[in-house]
A and B are shown apart, each in its own frame.
Chain A
Amino acid sequence: MNVETSVRVEDKLFYNRYLVDVGRPHVKVRAHTSPSPQLLALLKVCPARCYELNDKGQVEVTVDGCIECGTCRVIGEPTGDIEWSYPRGGYGVLFKFG
């Protein structure tokens, strides 16, 4: 029944060009034992599905596929759940069409 599970976001990201700044993620999740409602919302709202639950039930972010929309910043920065910066100049997603 659930359409979302049938949408393969990683296939969509494969269309895009990226220059990954290895070892310098531009988004960080604050260490936590159990995630806040804001962090849990990011699992679904992030259009690149960068946020996932690890086996301890904590929210983790992998920014390699990030399309830099800022939605997680709007939700998670006010509560201090995440830290958000732009990637260094030239790095990150490189739109061909935009």
Chain B
Amino acid sequence: MIEEKFDAIVVGAGMSGNAAALTMAKRGMKVLQLERGEYAGSKNVQGAILYADMLEKLIPDFRDDAPLERHLVEQRFWLMDDRSHFGVHYRSEDFNEERPNRYTIIRAQFDKWFSSKVREAGATVLCETTVTELARDAHGKVIGVHTDRRDGEIHADVVVLAEGVNGLLGTRARLRERPKPDKVALAVKEMHFLPRETIEAHFNLKGDEGVVVEAAGTISRGMTGMGFIYANKECISIGIGCIVADFQRTGETPYGLLDRFKRHPSVAPLIEGSEVKEYSAHLIPEGGYKAIPQLYGDGWVVVGDAAQLNNAIHREGSNLAMTSGRIAAEAIVQVKSRRQPMTAANLSVYKKMLDESFVIKDLKKHKDMPMLMHTNSQNFFLTYPQLVSRAMQNYVRVDGTPKAEKEKGTLKSFVNARSWTGLFGDAFRIARAWR
């Protein structure tokens, strides 16, 4: 056993764990962070987009040395059927600003950098160490962890569970439930390398400008899911994810979906000639507000993906992870500075502070969206994309048909597919869930 006792142990070195460890170490706490990968980042997978605001709150001058890829100047949303896409693109010169708001990043590289900041702040970071179990006293209070190192029991006043969406510790200790197949998505991703000039030409970019494409429609074969394409400096992250229960129900394969997405006529030219250098997969929490578990207890708090803190509607996760890690750490620092014990009652301040932040406010706002998208996946991901494609083609194709007749035809196709009641019902349900 390591005789030394720590103020806090952080399990995991992803966005939430690094944010928590950094915040506590900066405030003079004695912090041990444990990570099972060979270095921080080697087990972490994300698209990935970094949101500057949330990182600035931790490392104000991160732009000086963080490994950033491209700052985003353009967002493309695509509604796809098998041969077309209908796009809404927003691009603005305002995004070419001194302190850009969003960047693409490569997680393994970014997390390594983030971890170096945690070490600089004074935390002890131990990699290649898998935490196997929580150590608890006779009353059930968490008092530390067991690891797979020899004599691996280590004690601390509080354990921060930043163990990710598939965290085993908290579920094994029955602090929260294992994620259910209908509350998580499986996403697969490939890294496609191309010379940077080629990427800039394919995506209409100059310098370090970047673009994000998010796509939904028949690419997910009627399942709830979406595809994404992110431009990095010298590679393109391309992937697709769907709810696990939908994969189970349909028998679709994740690599089959990715292959079809890559061969779509709107996508293939973007990655043409590229060399693939990695294939990864990861789960994404999709249950939203209603899936958030108990966030604290005697001697522990849970943060980030492990706490299901992911905004599926806005495709934000890493910022919620970073913010929940920081807030949990601030709550712990507060309890410690009052010389109070790390009991559930004292740690409840974490939840109070998180409730006041955008993290819970945003998830609460969209609490009904995940279920709506899931129960109506055939309509939202198959029927409507096909209808929109036909409507757009009808609109742009000039063939001598009078416009009134064309418009009547389009309207009729929507009513035939969904009926008036269905159309109004869908509009109403979306409006209500979005509100």
Contact = CB atoms under 8 A, between A and B. Distances in A.
B180 interface: yes
Interface in B100-157: 106-109, 111, 127-130, 132, 147-149
B130 A87 contact: yes
Given A12-B190, A67-B280, A69-B281, A77 B254 contact: no
B247 A45 contact: yes
Contacts of B42: 94-95, 98
B181 A74 contact: yes
Contact of A98 (B41, B149, B168): B41
Contacts of B235: 97
Nearest to A38: B248
Interface stretch (B43-51, B56-64, B404-412): B43-51
A93 interface: yes
B259 A67 contact: no
B160 interface: no
Contacts, number: 143
Interface residues of A, number: 41
Contacts of A87: 36, 130
A97 to B, nearest CB: 5
B186 A47 contact: yes
B111 A47 contact: no
Interface residues of B, number: 55
B23 to A, nearest CB: 23
Interface of A: 3-4, 6-7, 9, 12-13, 15-16, 19, 38, 41, 44-45, 47-49, 67-71, 73-75, 77-78, 84-90, 92-98
Given A47-B186, A67-B279, A98-B42, 18 more contacts: A6-B259, A7-B255, A16-B279, A41-B248, A44-B252, A45-B253, A70-B166, A74-B184, A74-B283, A75-B244, A88-B130, A89-B127, A89-B128, A93-B43, A95-B41, A95-B108, A97-B277, A97-B280
What 6 pairs between A and B have smallest CB-CB spacing? Answer: A70-B166, A90-B128, A98-B107, A12-B279, A98-B108, A47-B281
